[in-house]
Structure 1
């Protein structure tokens, strides 16, 4: 595991003991994301927009329409991308020591366009599989016209930092006798009951990613 930040702007100073700079940890956090938030500067103002994302190799992928403001801006300059998973509420005996368990990644760099048709086909197939494993073999994949109307962008994960908290309460010794429940309330992304479209009721239910819990 690497303990050295890949660049000065990725070095974590606040709660540095929570920092992880190795690609294996970054990949694991990215792979459990369906959405990322991208911050960028455009038109004299700062913006932060959510968009669907997935990973292949050492790249984070996003997509958009050819005339998308976001797409053109990301190709013109640098940005910052953030992914966060909230894993638990940490309830302490004092208000000050309440916290949250989480896994997050911050990525810096500049997106690159992927224009080669076969590469786009493979990437979008991987996107469908990321959202619903096994579904790419069941549905019609994008046509050449649909691929031509869609921009595919990828961001290297070389300049990224992960930050993780995954433990219990850190109360002060003087607060230990306070008569109140303390501990962690786990949180997780959960799939609800599927709602079929008319005409689709007779077919098998789609799979959801393994990191999303099934509803009870």
Structure 2
């Protein structure tokens, strides 16, 4: 991907990455993105689940969603993702920071109309949220597929930005008797909890490794 005026950070540009490997790895790890656009002069920003396949980011929503109906027209959108790895605790509040990996993407929606392609995309999104679950679940009905809009966004104008490492304290602060370092942040899937209708149903294999 080539840098553009919209994907070059105004600050800390050296932290930016434009290679597909970096951008794709962040998108593939993140479960949710935020889609932002302007509709009739009003800014909107909606968090949603998504999946990437090759050079396209896919998301879905109800055919009745006002937001989905607007962005499916192809208006410009900005899609962002952020993964946080650690809080960076410095010797001064001014130098506090965060170790993170983020992606910003500018694109326009392509509405996926072909039935089998819609189903395949919904499978990708489902399997990303709960891996290996699609074949275990009750298959989606044609009515459910029709009630769902699937949109694809080409990943062409995008950049990643990352921060790693320890605090960057001011030189005159380095010897102060104040603790500084990292507080790691962890996120992941926890132990599954059955609802009242599944208490006597064995935990399926694709969920058993979470417990």
- Does TM, normalized by the shorter one, top 0.5? yes
SS in 1 for 2:203: coil
1:128 aligned to which of 121, 126, 129: 126
Post-superposition offset of 1:192: 3.4
Could you state the TM-score of these two structures normalised by the residue count of structure 2? 0.92
* Number of residue pairs the alignment of both structures matches: 208
Contact kept? 1:129, 1:135, Cα under 8 Å: yes
Ranges in structure 2 where 5+ consecutive residues have no aligned partner: none
Post-superposition offset of 1:194: 2.1
Partner of 2:79: 81
Q: After the TM superposition, list the runs of 4 or more consecutive aligned residues in structure 1 that deviate by more than 4 angstroms.
A: 205-208
Q: Counterparts in 2 of 1:158-173, with a 5 A limit?
A: 158-173=156-171
Could you state the TM-score of these two structures normalised by the residue count of structure 1? 0.90
Post-superposition Cα deviations, 1:163-190, rounded to whole Å, max 9, x if no partner, equal: 0001111112211111121111110213
SS in 2 for 1:55: strand
Post-superposition Cα deviations, 1:28-64, rounded to whole Å, max 9, x if no partner, equal: 1111121111111113211111111111111111111
Contact kept? 1:114, 1:154, Cα under 8 Å: yes
In the alignment, the residues of structure 2 paired with residue 159 and residue 203 of structure 1 have an alpha-carbon distance, to the nearest angstrom, of: 45
SS in 2 for 1:167: coil
2:28 aligned to which of 31, 39, 52: 31
Contact kept? 1:93, 1:182, Cα under 8 Å: yes
Partner of 2:154: 156
Post-superposition Cα deviations, 1:49-107, rounded to whole Å, max 9, x if no partner, equal: 11111111111111111121111211221110111111110011122111000111111
